[in-house]
Amino acid sequence: MSERRPQVVVPTIPGLSNLSVLARGGYATIYRAIQDSIGREVAVKVENRTLEGERDQRRFLREARAAGQMSAHPYVVDLHDVGVTADQHPYMIMELCDGSYAERLRAAPLTPSETRDVGTKIADALAVAHDSGVLHRDIKPANLLISRFGEPLLADFGLAVLAETRETSITLEVHTPAYSPPETLRYGSPTSAVDVYGLSATLYAMLSGRPPRLQPDRSPSVLALLELFEEPIPEVPGVSASFIDLLRLGMANDPLARPSAGRLRDLLAELVLERPPGPEAVRASARVPTGGYAQPSAGATEAG
């Protein structure tokens, strides 16, 4: 006899119908729904917790303000509306996307060209956010979505911090260790350098198929995490050294050594993706006679 699963209670949200679960997590449940007024499919994020106290209300308002400020950017998920259900669960109605880069990576890593394109666009979104005093603080493949038109979109400003409402008491609880810099392990006011590290680590994972240091199945202690930051970030086969060096710069242990999001965007846009020489190229160069020259093959470099 099979065990009966508990019935899922679908929330009632004004103006929406046909809600069905897309994803569940410890923080929120995501539903697909129809916006009745215009017949549009949307995504609805309903938080699992309720707004029971003033701190919860402040945090939800901070999230709504941050998402609202950023939703007009072409590479940020569009926010349509926010509210609170009858039983006090906050919700956000957003653009429905085709998936995330975390899902995409389960199939295969991205090419250097694809990764550079994603990085340039998301770095631009971060640069605008930082200029507005908004930090994201949880950049990772799962928070980079893919629009229905194939464009990368930055999602989930739910952990964002507006400059005028920073709460250092929640600094440690909002980060994903595999994509977080060493300063997040210490209490203190976050800076935009946290987002630069997170994006650089995410781009590295897109190229390699795994985070730069932390194993996905490991949950190390704080001390073990700090030791991991002393390990070098390895090369990625098939990816030019210049690309990896740029990402290493974005993941510098010293926050002051990292470029700004705007500078990272520009460096990515200017990056020429030279293909590392393969065995065939090495053997061919060894056969070039003294005083001669080798004709470069088509595709020896990838234009920037």
Q: Count other C-beta atoms under 10 Å from residue 165's C-beta.
A: 14
Q: DSSP 3-state assignment of 235?
A: coil
Question: Which phi and psi angles does 279 have, rounded to 5°?
Answer: -55, -40
Q: Which residues have a Cβ under 8 Å from the Cβ of 272 and sit 6 or more positions away?
A: 242, 301, 302, 303, 304
| Residues 85 and 101 sit within 8 Å (Cβ to Cβ) | no
Q: Report how far apart, in Å, the C-alpha atoms of 141 and of each of 156, 198, 211, 292 are.
A: 12, 10, 10, 47
Both structure tokens of 99: 């998936």
CA 101 to chain centre: 8
Q: DSSP 3-state assignment of 69?
A: helix
Both structure tokens of 195: 């987002």
C-alpha dihedral, 175 to 240 to 120 to 296, nearest 10°:
-170
Secondary element (H or E) of residue 47? strand 40-47
Q: DSSP 3-state assignment of 202?
A: helix
Q: Which of 137, 213, 258, 265 is catalytic?
A: 137
Residue with tokens 């974005």: 250
Both structure tokens of 91: 């919700």
| Residues 181 and 113 sit within 8 Å (Cβ to Cβ) | no
Q: Is 137 a catalytic residue?
A: yes
Active site residues: 137
